[in-house]
Each structure stands twice: as structure tokens, then as C-alpha cells.
Amino acid sequence: MPRVHLLATGGTIASREGPDGLAARTPAAELLAATRPPAGLTVTTSDLGTVGSFALTTGDLRGLVAEARRRLDEGADGVVVTQGTDTMEESVYLADLVHDDPRPIVFTGAQRPFDDPAPDGPANLAAALRVASSPAARDLGALLCFDGLAFAARGVRKVDTLRSGAFGAPGRGPVLRVAGDSVLPLGRPVRSSPLPLDLRTELPRVDVVACYLGTDASLLRAAVAAGAAGIVLQAFGAGNVPPPIAEAAEELVAGGIPVLVCSRVTSGPVLPLYAAGGARLARGGAVFAGDLSPWQGRLLLAAALAVAPDDPQALLARYLAD
């Protein structure tokens, strides 16, 4: 009989209304009791915490991914993690960066709280348990299952603040669909080889610097002064930045601080096209992150700095080329 482990961390799926607003306080066993798992599936449960995902740190995230992997090592056929949707795209991506197992780790949550008159959590949890125990989910890495669809880690984003279809993978699409008792394959994700990241070690600080009309380099320099070992630029369009940012980025790369270029646009890759914009960044040694979001790019750059401190750029180039 297949067995899936349910690891709960909090989020809206576990939240109830209180005097100050919503607060996550429903444990895994209660989440499971409120849903209808697939027939014949054994589900074990444990709790890692009851927090909003907006309060998680990268240290918490390393602990969460390590715990999910430990549950696979113990013999579960798959793991489902419940957490808040706000940072779920980061959690699933870190889990995927190190995932070297055919069995899936599936993240899910909810847009409406546990005590809502029409909660979406129970259906999302039932679908995630079904995906986690399905042969169709093997070898797809870490997945995010929401509103009847499962997305590969790379490229998945929260695309709506409130609607139940909270996630999308713009330009990529879902990889699985849950239809009744079936899990239908829709596509195979592009996955690079897992990174040998030691989850017990702190990740180097990497900051995301946003570009907006007329940005100067003050925040970029402040990030470095605060200890950033790498910078992600949330650039305009296909990877352009204002001249002061381009100039500062050149200096950083020359000084050994890698710069990764992502876009503030939700769909499509960045490319070094414009002489005074993206092409200038590329000439200065910045790395272009394809269609990776700044938030996922930040984790990739931090992991590259941790795994290959002598040449993170080479690791990034290899990882992003796959």
C-alpha cells in the first residue's frame, strides 16, 4: 500500500480568523481529517510549524527541504508539504535544486482559510496527495499542486493574490492535471542536474534590486554594504537597466560579486539585446537567467555561491543552459 507523508508548516490552508486577522494554527492531522485522501493511500503526518510563509527565512527553508527529504529517506513514496502561498514558489524551487530522487515532493496550500465557508484547502490537499502517490509524478522533481494542476518548480509563480487559481508557469504551463481519480501528464519539465548543496550550511546573502524609471545605484550599493555576495537585478523587459545600474553592475562583477539578470516581466526570457541596456550588462560579465523569476534566481545564485565559491558563474551558466 503506498504511503505519503504530509508535512505541515502553516499558511492560509491552516489559518483561522482571530481578533487580529487570520493566523495559521491548524495542525497536519486536522488538515488531513478535513480532506478525502485517495482510497488505499496511507498518509502519515507531522508538523514543522504553524507560520505564514511570509515570515519564513532561508534558514527555515533549508530546514523544511531537509525534513521533506528525510521523510523520503524514511521510506515514504512521496511527500506533501503544506505552506503559505506567498513564498511557495521559492520553497518548491529550493527543494527542486537539490532533488535527486524519482519520488516527488509536492507543495500545496490554499487561498481561503481553513474556517472559510467554502475553503479550497481540502481539495488542494486531496489533489496533492493524489499527485504525490501517482506514478505520473515520478522523475518530475519537486512540484507545486494547486487548483487541479501541478507545476514543475522552475518557472512557477504566484499569479493572483486571491483567486483559487493562484499559480501559473507563464510560457511553460502545468506538467500534470488532476481529473477525478486520474493524474494526467501534460508535459515534462526541463530539469538540470541536482546541485550538491549542503542544506545544513547557511546560504550566502543574495539581494534582489528592482529597476524602475530613473533608478540610481544607491540600493544596489547598500545591498553590497549589507553583505550581499551576489546580486539579482529585477531588470526591465528583456533585461535592460538604467545606466547607473549598468555601471555599478560592471564594477561589482569586476570586483568578484556575480550579477544575475532577471526581468520584472512575468513571462519570457531575458537577452542581451540593447547596446546601452542588456548588452552592456552582458559585456560587463552579468549572467542572464532565462525566464527565471528574480525570487527563484536569487536562490539559484545563492546555491551557486555556496556550491562553487571559486566560480559561481560557470555553475550558473551550466545550470541555466540545461
- 53 in contact with ligand ASP (CB under 6 A): yes
Q: Are strands 149-152 and 15-18 parallel, antiparallel or unpaired?
A: unpaired
CA triple 257-261-264, angle to 5 deg: 135
Contacts of 205 (CB under 8 A, 6+ apart): 226, 227, 228, 229, 302
Binding range to ligand ASP, per CB under 6 A, among 28-36, 49-57, 68-76, 167-175: 49-57
Q: Tell me the C-alpha distance between 90 and 111, whole Å.
A: 17
- Please, which residue, 12 or 35, has the CB nearer to ligand ASP? 12
Where in the sequence numbering do the catalytic residues fall? 12
- Please, which residue, 85 or 134, has the CB nearer to ligand ASP? 85
User: Shortest Cβ distance from residue 114 to ligand ASP (Å)?
Assistant: 10
- 11 in contact with ligand ASP (CB under 6 A): yes
User: Shortest Cβ distance from residue 279 to ligand ASP (Å)?
Assistant: 38
Binding site annotation covers 193? no
DSSP string, 258-295: -EEEEESSSSS------TTTHHHHHHTTPEE-TT--HH
Q: Tell me the C-alpha distance between 89 and 238, whole Å.
A: 22
- 160 in contact with ligand ASP (CB under 6 A): no
Could you give the count of Cα atoms lying within 13 Å of 88 in the half-sphere of its Cβ?
35
81 exposed, middle or buried (CB, 10 Å; 0-12, 13-18, 19+)?
buried
User: Shortest Cβ distance from residue 284 to ligand ASP (Å)?
Assistant: 36
**Binding residue for ligand ASP (CB under 6 A) from 37, 38, 78, 84?**
84
- Please, which residue, 82 or 240, has the CB nearer to ligand ASP? 82
* Closest C-alpha to 307, from 201, 155, 154: 201
- 12 in contact with ligand ASP (CB under 6 A): yes
Binding site annotation covers 198? no
- 91 in contact with ligand ASP (CB under 6 A): no
Binding range to ligand ASP, per CB under 6 A, among 78-86, 169-177, 284-292, 307-315: 78-86
Give the three-class secondary structure for 106. Answer: strand
User: Shortest Cβ distance from residue 231 to ligand ASP (Å)?
Assistant: 25
- 121 in contact with ligand ASP (CB under 6 A): no
Binding site annotation covers 85? yes
Kindly report the number of other CB atoms within 10 A of residue 182's CB atom.
11
**Residues contributing to the site for ligand ASP (CB under 6 A):** 11-12, 52-54, 84-86, 109
